[in-house]
Structure 1
Amino acid sequence: MATTPATQHHQTAAPKASDTATGRERRRLHLKLKLATQIGQGIDGYIIGGIGMAMAALTTDLHLSTLMQGLVGASPLIGIFVGGPLFGRLADRFGRRPVFLVDMLIFLIGSVLQFFVADGLQLFLIRLLMGVAIGGEYAIGAPLLSEYAPRQGRGRLLASLEISWYVGYALATVVGAVFAEVDGGWRWSLASSAVIAVVCVSLRGGIPESARWLLSKGRREEAEALIEKYGIEVDVAAELAERDAGHQDGFRALFSRRHLRSTVFASVFWAALVLPYFAIGTFWTQVFEALNMGDNAVAALLVYSFTAVAGVTVGCLVVDRIGRRRLLIPPFWITAGCLALVAVWPSSTPVIVGGFLFFIFLNAASSALTAIYPLEVFPTSLRTTGVGFATAMSRVGAAIGTFLLPMGLDRFGAEFVLLVGAGVLAMGGLVSQFLAPETTDMDLAMAARKAGKGSA
């Protein structure tokens, strides 16, 4: 029977059953991987926000000194300093998949143990272990998701991880407020992260290895099978060219001439962004009281948290439209000015409220880039090692700030602390001005190459 042109066109356009199956497989994998990574990212925000709400009650129950308060507050950040480089190196050497599961199992164990602590030292050690696991989460979660993500829209997808962080932070403040009036409620509040960890572990089973990592190890046939099965957008030639050019791995490679620029940039911009936020957020009650803003610090912390959620959501929406550099550099300077303004006029309620809200909103918007920039500036063979190291450096700054802030408030006052925070943000703006590359909509291999050459 003869066929008309219309019939021929219809027959040509009809999708094959295998193509449809590939589409379903790809969508299912992307959804599962996105959820597993988002929840993992949200867990970090959850335990940071949770300790901020529980600090006053557990200080009383466990008789914590000012020194121990600082150690407990900073413990996850110190743990991340170890876990980021450790798990990052393991993921580059042995693969993304096993690390992605093990780090969350460690976090689950730590979450449960928090309920049974008898003193500040025990809580410090347990949250230190949880921080090690979270360091692994930073080193592996976003890099694995990026290695399955298409070029266009990759920024928004990865930035959504930061929304999860702030949602986790805000959720922890709500849970903390619910348990605030319960005797020993801080134990339930801190241990509630175990529920989230169980969900996360269940999602991570069956997630395949990264095709890009397989290519970096010369396992081309396995990589191409995954690329075909899941329709992954990978520049195979660029990944193989990177390997054939004599790829470097390990911590020493981060400080080679080829990668030093990326290492410095990723570490400094990330540390400068998070140091003021973590320090002020963890001890918000003390900062609030030092500024003579009354006794409604819990309500203020909720506003602080939800303003940050709004900020990072906006950052997620615009990151692929305005580009990485525009989302990073101007907010650094503006937020530095906001904190300096509050420090100079600490007696003006409008200045304090406006300055903090602008700081929180813009700082959170820029923080969307912490899930994007570090993994875009390192090649596949060094990606999780580089991200893990940058994570560690960011948490060194955050841990120092969190540890020193209560003592700084006692000795020098809120104005001095805020001026230090403004100086840190200004330093981040200066470094980013000279070192931040524009990597929007570029393949990961090409973005890393551009970052290493230093072209904005």
Structure 2
Amino acid sequence: MSTTPVTTSPAGDIDEDPGPFDWFRTLGPRGRRAFAGAFGGYALDSYDFFTLPLSMVAIAAYFGLNTGQTGLLATVTLVVSAVGGAVAGVLADRIGRVKALMITVATYAFFTVLCGFAPTYESLLVLRGLQGLGFGGEWAVGAILVAEYASAKHRGRTLAFVQSSWAVGWALAVVVNTTVFELLDPATAWRVMFWTGALPALLVLYVRKNVQDAPDAAAKRLTGRRGNPFASFAEIFKPGLAKTTFFAALLATGVQGGYYTLATWVPAYLKTERGLTVVGTGGYLTVLISGAFCGYLTGGFLTDRLGRKRTIALFAVLSAACVLAFTHLPAGANGVLLALSFPLGFCMSAIFSGFGSFLSELYPTAVRGTGQGFTYNMGRGVGAFFPALVGFMAGSWGVGGALVFGAIGYGIAVIALLGLPETRGRELV
């Protein structure tokens, strides 16, 4: 009988009995609390994001908007999130991961609630943009926090489980949205949806009391910044990192351009072009989200086995194929559409499973927050124009036809991978 050598996790625990959840056990007590904080933060980040797409039809009717204007609401959130994410990355390197995490969560919760009080379309546009400041930074900071507790062997699946919380928050938003819109008039229901975005404020209390930065990573961060204690954007564009920064941002642009095109417009597509009610749309989204959750977890195991690049490339190709199939079914094929919702959700989510580990491994500890925060959110900001393009082209192509921009985004992601190294098994330095 073969034996597995004893290993030590970053949290100091001894790895004596590997199993399917060994990744969680080896985080250690502090690492598990950090995981809970990052998981909850990203789930509620997702919840607050989806208050808009799920309410978009009602908001458009209330303010008398066209598809271009409604698409702009999603785009401004994502564009501003690029700024918020980059700033949060610098804060994570300057004041620590946990403090930066609390700031981002409090920011997106505060402005989501204010969106519910918006008297005009213009004020909603501004408030939604400000919500993006916190929305942009939470994932990058939380992913770095957990990555620095995780072992190289398990980092892919550990970060994939954090990523899976996006599906949890999405599902919660669909349940609450379906209930609220069944009980209230649409003109009031969309405001109530935004007001429920106050939930993340409770998470800040948990993080403040229970979560700490990984000690080794905190020491490396301070030591690495001894000559220059503050993270600088210039450092991630210096020789040795500039190429990585460019292609990582391009990869994030393609993947998020594809994803947010679908996340923003699929609910409207189901209602306007497939003729589904709120309850009917909820059924389709349930299947889509179930696929997403399974995709996150499956992708996490694959990214540790196949490598980061192969896994992302595989699901980029499959996601593009699913988008084209999902949006080009003939009228009356709603049964097939329902069946395709699962693989669509699976593939468009599995592609993200390796992102947290991949981006963390591309940068040294001293500038990890800056590098990951900038590349992921620059990609989000540029990718934000994909939903806007769908909105403006929907008038002539239809929403379903315009969703082809999602497939284009995944093609960009595959090209970007050519300029990046494989990092599976790389220790954080």
Which TM class, normalised by the smaller chain length? 0.7 to 0.9
Residues 98, 211 of structure 2: 8 Å contact kept: yes
CA–CA distance in structure 1, aligned partners of residues 380 and 115 of structure 2: 21
| Aligned ranges 1:169-318 → 2 under 5 Å | 169-181=170-182, 182-183=184-185, 184-205=188-209, 207-210=211-214, 211-218=216-223, 249-288=231-270, 292=274, 296-318=280-302
- Unpaired runs of 5+ residues, structure 2, are 1-11, 14-24
Deviates more, 1:294-303 or 1:265-274: 294-303
Change (3 A) 1:66 1:329: closer
How much has 1:325 moved relative to structure 2?
Answer: 2.4
Change (3 A) 1:251 1:339: same
3-state secondary structure, aligned to 1:401: helix
How much has 1:175 moved relative to structure 2?
Answer: 0.8
CA–CA distance in structure 1, aligned partners of residues 88 and 246 of structure 2: 20
Change (3 A) 1:257 1:351: farther
CA–CA distance in structure 2, aligned partners of residues 91 and 104 of structure 1: 13
| Aligned ranges 1:367-446 → 2 under 5 Å | 367-414=352-399, 416-432=401-417, 434-445=418-429
Q: Number of residues paired by the alignment?
A: 400
How much has 1:415 moved relative to structure 2?
Answer: 5.6
CA–CA distance in structure 1, aligned partners of residues 151 and 91 of structure 2: 25
| Aligned ranges 1:65-214 → 2 under 5 Å | 65-181=66-182, 182-183=184-185, 184-205=188-209, 207-210=211-214, 211-214=216-219
How much has 1:304 moved relative to structure 2?
Answer: 2.1
CA–CA distance in structure 2, aligned partners of residues 398 and 125 of structure 1: 19
**1:12 paired residue number:** none
3-state secondary structure, aligned to 1:148: coil
CA–CA distance in structure 1, aligned partners of residues 296 and 97 of structure 2: 27
3-state secondary structure, aligned to 1:116: coil
Residue-by-residue CA offset, 1:338-375 (whole Å, 9 max, x unaligned): 33445666558377556554333112111112222111
Residue-by-residue CA offset, 1:282-338 (whole Å, 9 max, x unaligned): 222432356546554332233222221221122134332332223111221222233
- Matched AA of 1:139: A
CA–CA distance in structure 2, aligned partners of residues 26 and 369 of structure 1: 18
Change (3 A) 1:246 1:196: closer
Which structure is larger by alpha-carbon Rg, 1 or 2?
A: 1
**2:304 paired residue number:** 320
How much has 1:151 moved relative to structure 2?
Answer: 2.1
- Matched AA of 1:215: K
CA–CA distance in structure 2, aligned partners of residues 278 and 431 of structure 1: 18
- Unpaired runs of 5+ residues, structure 1, are 1-18, 219-239, 446-456
CA–CA distance in structure 1, aligned partners of residues 345 and 326 of structure 2: 13
Change (3 A) 1:246 1:83: closer
How much has 1:37 moved relative to structure 2?
Answer: 0.7
Change (3 A) 1:315 1:58: same
Change (3 A) 1:129 1:418: closer
3-state secondary structure, aligned to 2:421: coil
CA–CA distance in structure 2, aligned partners of residues 404 and 171 of structure 1: 28
CA–CA distance in structure 2, aligned partners of residues 101 and 276 of structure 1: 29
CA–CA distance in structure 2, aligned partners of residues 128 and 429 of structure 1: 29
How much has 1:202 moved relative to structure 2?
Answer: 2.6
3-state secondary structure, aligned to 1:99: helix
Residue-by-residue CA offset, 1:389-415 (whole Å, 9 max, x unaligned): 112222123321122212211122346
Residues 247, 381 of structure 1: 8 Å contact kept: no
**2:314 paired residue number:** 330
CA–CA distance in structure 2, aligned partners of residues 164 and 61 of structure 1: 31
How much has 1:193 moved relative to structure 2?
Answer: 2.3
3-state secondary structure, aligned to 1:261: helix
Change (3 A) 1:178 1:105: same
How much has 1:120 moved relative to structure 2?
Answer: 2.0
Residues 81, 135 of structure 2: 8 Å contact kept: yes
How much has 1:439 moved relative to structure 2?
Answer: 2.0
How much has 1:67 moved relative to structure 2?
Answer: 4.0
3-state secondary structure, aligned to 1:367: coil
How much has 1:57 moved relative to structure 2?
Answer: 1.9
- Matched AA of 2:300: C
Residues 263, 390 of structure 1: 8 Å contact kept: yes
Residues 257, 383 of structure 2: 8 Å contact kept: yes
Change (3 A) 1:420 1:110: closer
Change (3 A) 1:146 1:311: same
- Matched AA of 2:101: F
Residues 107, 197 of structure 1: 8 Å contact kept: no
Deviates more, 1:289-298 or 1:102-111: 289-298
Whose helix proportion is higher, 1 or 2? 1
Query: Over aligned residues, Cα RMSD in angstroms?
Result: 3.0
Residues 100, 204 of structure 1: 8 Å contact kept: no
Residues 106, 204 of structure 2: 8 Å contact kept: no
Residues 92, 383 of structure 1: 8 Å contact kept: yes
Residue-by-residue CA offset, 1:221-248 (whole Å, 9 max, x unaligned): xxxxxxxxxxxxxxxxxxx7xx799999
Change (3 A) 1:25 1:267: closer
